[in-house]
Structure 1
Amino acid sequence: MTRTLLKGGQILSMDDAIGNLTGDVLVEDARIVEVAPVIEAEDAEVIDAASAIVMPGFVNAHLHTWQGAIRAIAADWPSGGYFKHVHAGISTKYAPEDTYIGTLVGALAQIEAGTTTLFDWCHNNATPAHTDAAVDALEKAGLRAVFGHGTVKPEPKPGEPHFSTIPHPVAEIDRLRKGRLSNDDALVTLAACILGPDYSGIEVCRHDFRMARDYGLLSSAHIWGLNRLVPDGYLTIAREGLLGPDHNIVHANYISDEELKVILDHGATVTSTPPVELGPHPVEPLVSRILRMGGRPSIGPDVEVDVTGGMLETIRASLLGARLYNTKYADEHLAEEDVKERKVGVPTARVTEPPVPSIEALKWATIDNARALRLDHRIGSLTPGKQADLIVVRRDSLAMMGTVDPAQTVVHFAQNADIETVMIGGRVRKSGGKVLGVDMARLARDLAASAERLFRAYPVTI
């Protein structure tokens, strides 16, 4: 048995029964066994967390990790460019080794950024070899991951069916579920990333929802609410008994409040990706709408062709969006001279109630994201009995000196470099600010070779 004692940290537990305190966390093997102001464990290896923040590792609820070799190409594209150049373009040129190296770099970058669990929504797996390469990379990285088996979306060639008419491949789900991803307690587990009512008709929806449920899997679907193939979306799915807590919706910015209420009432979870959504989709992200309905949102970054996959940036964008749409303003508190000087189109209202608190954004990124992945019984809080997935955030950098409130410190000031220690299942994966066991020179060389092949096969106009 191995024992590790994190000593003297400011603890953000994300467990309402434990709360926030200054104290110690004791880990035995893969699990947290005690959180208290003082713990005596003379035989334990000690990590000095004095003046640092100890909290659960981030849970990234939505990322397409295979895009590691094609980062930062699409942030300036207009709406539609992603589907044209990524799904129908460069992704069709991927060999399994490209999926492997992109996923490996992306997964290691998640560890560097303090993520301990990732929902890897993999929809660039044209063959079983591509799928296996992605799972190989997740296992190699040592990251806890839900591997979401998706499907590719190329433009059909003459005589080929459109991807929207093709049911999810049961044979692949069966192969994975009965093979390497059969254990729901393993570090890498399985989910089914289906087309859903926006990207497939009702018959395919029925097939895919039932398939995921038959195999006991979480299902997830990209939803926008525009140009839908099932016109009333989840209203039909719910009426037919296919919607429940085993389903996750991503985006859904354009759906009605009626449909959103049905989704939440059936226990399904909703993941918003504000860093990407607020670009080509300048409408209210669902984070704030879910809060108004009394629900708990889930968040993720989405695509690294547009934005970094790090959760710190995702937390900040999500909180900013929630505050923008959920903060109350009132003109009656304006000074009279301000009212007289008001210019058309220039808002001059003052905030009259406290905004969405910073600690709420940390809950979205930890326990609420764990709940969206149906893993909140195992991860997402520093609760005795749960997996020891945690991070230590130092406060001695120039950017962090003088910070007071620990939640505000993490949300508004911390950088990846301030995340000194990352522990996943009791194993230290990042220490002293460095991800352990990584050959950076080889990674850079292999990723560059992959990018060169891909861009030669499909020259992308940026």
Structure 2
Amino acid sequence: MTSTPPPGELSSGRPILFRNATVLTMDPALGVLDGGDVLVRGQRIEHVGTGLDAPQDAVVVDATGGILLPGMIDTHRHMWQTALRGFGADWTLTQYFVFYYLNWGKIFRPEDIYAGNLTSAIESLDAGVTTTVDWSHGLRTPEHGDAAVEALRAVPGRFVLAYGNLLGAPWEWANAPEFRAFVDRHFSSPDDRLRLQLAFDVTGEATFPEKGAFEAARELNLPVTTHAGVWGATGDDSIRLMWEHGFMTSDVTYVHACSLSEDSYQRIAATGGSVSLATESEQSAGQGYPPSWRLRRYGIPVSISMDTSVWWSADLFSAMRATLSADRSREHLEAQAQQETVVHNSLRAEHVVEWATMGGARALGLDTELGSLTPGKKADLVLIKNDRSPAMFPIVNPYGHVVYQAGRGDVHTVLVDGRAVKYRHELIGCDLAKARTAVTATVEYARGRIGDDWQGCMSPEIPETEVIANPYTYTDYQGAGVAVHRGDQPQAG
């Protein structure tokens, strides 16, 4: 029986050998290994196989009864909003817009961005998400951006800061000298653990003011991530304008992509873009039906995301489960409408695990480094193992087990760059007490600013509504319309 190494041993720089796991390599050449071993040396995966010899100085982790897979990758999470975790559990997307875009997004200070990001970054690692895209649209000033960076660098994970400002015009802030100084300050040299993108939406205004933001991204050599196909907010006109101006490229991530026409999906497919599915969000908020069934039809690459903890869970186990279930529900509904019966599921558990690992790596252009347990790649990996859980045995269908049986509480060990950041269900190198203190201060501050409207914002009554054409405050574009309450009081959300 292999002895249990102390946590410090896994961070000592010695090789680490995971012994006797069910290994989901996500590498077609290697497949699934029963009783498999993975040897990590330094920041890299050195060997994957069975019966590997342990180097004399190796730390051996007994992975018997566990599933070893690549670190999961979340391609769209509004991390700053974790500071109000669960506040909007009963919101619609309309009420989310009212709360953040029209009424209260402006109250969040740099220290509140820090609190949300720090907490979200820690919980990402805790749930086996080793790379997270921080869709950080609360950065009203570069100081807010500084706070976001500080929080992400305080946690030993891998992150992409997708810089955005929901209250500012992207063609303005992306070209402001203050933003360029921010980029120089934090991203003047390559950082494998923290990368930068631009995050902004395209309203569909005929003059295409967002052109200036795309040009800034091109000048800075930065990928773009954008909420596309969001019912009543961003639609086919947004995609058409990007297409006509030559800004649909392979490094663009389209978040949600629910409410789009065939032409728009064809354009995404033709230009090599990818879609970040946030199925819990799409099912509940109203962006449109989760589009995995459409994306498969057009061969569009897919990754998975959680969107925001102000509403939903913050782990990719939930995302995989919701995505697989939503896709199958749609297949059954479509077939039954034609008086037919589905007898084979097109989307399998293996596919959504792939989307949560290699899919995310491809979306970020990191598939040569991350996303599979392939020798030579970065040692970002997750061991799911919980000897105290009756749901963790037997492991008969490992992909199905990850999707439908396992959860964040079963994450035993997490490595990032070969360094243990969680072991035996305990985080390593993460200051949870500091995050708790920071978030508590933010909640107290926000509650004080919102005042008597706090409960009404959290649990809005069904209001009388009028249609406003645009939730974005930085343009007068009049689109298809979003029904929101726009009275003097923000009780709608």
Length-normalised TM-score, structure 2: 0.84
Larger displacement relative to structure 2 (265-274 or 317-326): 317-326
Deviations 1:247-274 (A, max 9, x none): 1111121110111111111011111211
Change (3 A) 1:216 1:314: same
Is the 1:167–1:204 Cα contact (8 Å) retained in structure 2?
no
Is the 1:326–1:356 Cα contact (8 Å) retained in structure 2?
no
Task: Report the counterpart of residue 323 of structure 2 in structure 1.
Answer: 318
What secondary structure is seen at the aligned counterpart in 2 of 1:428?
strand
Aligned equivalents of 1:171 and 1:414: distance in 2? Answer: 47
Is the 1:72–1:306 Cα contact (8 Å) retained in structure 2?
yes
Task: Report the counterpart of residue 194 of structure 1 in structure 2.
Answer: 200
- Aligned pairs for 1:60-459 (under 5 A) are 60-153=74-167, 163=169, 166=172, 168-198=174-204, 202-224=207-229, 226-227=231-232, 232-281=237-286, 283-326=288-331, 350-396=341-387, 397-459=389-451
Is the 2:230–2:256 Cα contact (8 Å) retained in structure 1?
no
Change (3 A) 1:359 1:175: same
Deviations 1:263-313 (A, max 9, x none): 111011111211011113274212221112223212211011110111111
Deviations 1:298-350 (A, max 9, x none): 2211011110111111111111111122358867xxxxxxxxxxxxx9x9964
Aligned equivalents of 1:411 and 1:11: distance in 2? Answer: 15
Is the 2:126–2:408 Cα contact (8 Å) retained in structure 1?
yes
Is the 2:77–2:305 Cα contact (8 Å) retained in structure 1?
yes
Change (3 A) 1:130 1:423: same
Aligned equivalents of 1:259 and 1:385: distance in 2? Answer: 38
**Count of residue correspondences:** 439
- Letter of the 2:19 counterpart: K
Larger displacement relative to structure 2 (293-302 or 350-359): 350-359
State the shift of 1:185 in Å: 4.4
Percent of aligned pairs with the same amino acid: 30
Change (3 A) 1:421 1:225: closer
Gaps of 5+ in 1: 154-161, 332-344
Change (3 A) 1:201 1:433: farther
Is the 1:213–1:246 Cα contact (8 Å) retained in structure 2?
no
Larger displacement relative to structure 2 (72-81 or 306-315): 72-81
Aligned equivalents of 2:415 and 2:437: distance in 1? Answer: 27
Task: Report the counterpart of residue 13 of structure 1 in structure 2.
Answer: 25
Change (3 A) 1:228 1:60: closer
- Letter of the 2:196 counterpart: L
State the shift of 1:80 in Å: 1.0
Aligned equivalents of 2:179 and 2:31: distance in 1? Answer: 40
Task: Report the counterpart of residue 29 of structure 1 in structure 2.
Answer: 42
Larger displacement relative to structure 2 (134-143 or 174-183): 174-183
State the shift of 1:408 in Å: 0.8
- Letter of the 1:374 counterpart: G
Task: Report the counterpart of residue 463 of structure 2 in structure 1.
Answer: none
- Letter of the 2:68 counterpart: V
Task: Report the counterpart of residue 4 of structure 1 in structure 2.
Answer: 16
Aligned equivalents of 2:125 and 2:195: distance in 1? Answer: 17
Change (3 A) 1:24 1:422: same
Aligned equivalents of 1:218 and 1:146: distance in 2? Answer: 11
Aligned equivalents of 1:266 and 1:329: distance in 2? Answer: 28
Gaps of 5+ in 2: 1-12, 459-493
Change (3 A) 1:79 1:441: closer
Is the 1:330–1:352 Cα contact (8 Å) retained in structure 2?
no
- Letter of the 2:305 counterpart: G
State the shift of 1:444 in Å: 2.2
Change (3 A) 1:211 1:427: same
Is the 1:329–1:351 Cα contact (8 Å) retained in structure 2?
no
What secondary structure is seen at the aligned counterpart in 2 of 1:178?
helix
Q: Please tell me whether residue 56 in structure 1 is matched to residue 70 in structure 2.
A: yes
Is the 1:328–1:352 Cα contact (8 Å) retained in structure 2?
no
State the shift of 1:378 in Å: 1.4
Deviations 1:139-197 (A, max 9, x none): 101110011110132xxxxxxxx747745344355334433223444201111112324
What secondary structure is seen at the aligned counterpart in 1 of 2:195?
strand
- Letter of the 1:322 counterpart: D
Aligned equivalents of 1:422 and 1:208: distance in 2? Answer: 37
